[in-house]
Structure 1
């Protein structure tokens, strides 16, 4: 799916179609967007997810977001996830991350931060994303991730969710293992 420029008129038409209460019109727009491969509509897709009462449309948009294969998507999606206020939508977007077949390794620290901010399910989604990252990880990403984990541990007394604490422990172990890999690489040089 190659990204192409789309004129303002087409974008407006897609916006109108996506927000239509008629499911077949919204689904047709999703299909057209998928064929166009246009990243200009990404903010529109997220906006529709926030507002759409049609679950089939919502599922089709989430699938489309997961299926888009572009480096631009990785950065854009992570920005939307970090800025998203709705825990439900944030969780859905995190699911798109691990359902996509793209590498989010440059966002290790951001994913660790997200794991500490949300509930158990968000932490679990983040662990799944981390386990699917191929690396290698930049040393500054690992250090930043460790800082987020340290901050979480310092505030742990406020946290009652033992299941989330266990997931965060698994994430800390993952980060530690990755950091040991970097230390071993430095010894080999």
Structure 2
């Protein structure tokens, strides 16, 4: 039972002390944060980002944040499933991409210092990788394979798969090699040629 309930014009907040549930009217399409892991809730996507779960259900966007987020979210959405980090997503790649761990560590340090935040987004890392395959001399101006061609197919927080609808590559496989949380950069570890 919640300790307090706050009702505002555009949202309801259920305060459980160590956890809060916020419900708002769902507007537009549901877009998960770029570096969030994906599960399922109420038959749709579940965003898992740090101590926050977010999904849509019955015309509402629901966010659970705090130490009891999973327990309380499962009471609201009984079929809720968290990302399965045991799934071996990246070994399905037809072409393996060797990664120099020292370069990945240097990239992580760069992001930690505030540079190159695009490395936290599996879609942006895939876009750069694919477009450098198309234009090995470098990306000048608009990329040949546009951003709209990339769609996150899976992300369990440690591994991700990005589908590409045009260009020479159909799927990009990524992994967080240095740090396995929302602050970890993504590295391309494989791909499927078209």
Same fold at TM > 0.5: no
Structure number having the greater strand percentage: 2
The structure whose residues are more often helix, as a share, is: 1
* TM-score normalised over the length of structure 2: 0.21
Greater RCO (CA < 8 Å, at least 6 residues apart): 2
**TM-score scaled by structure 1?**
0.22
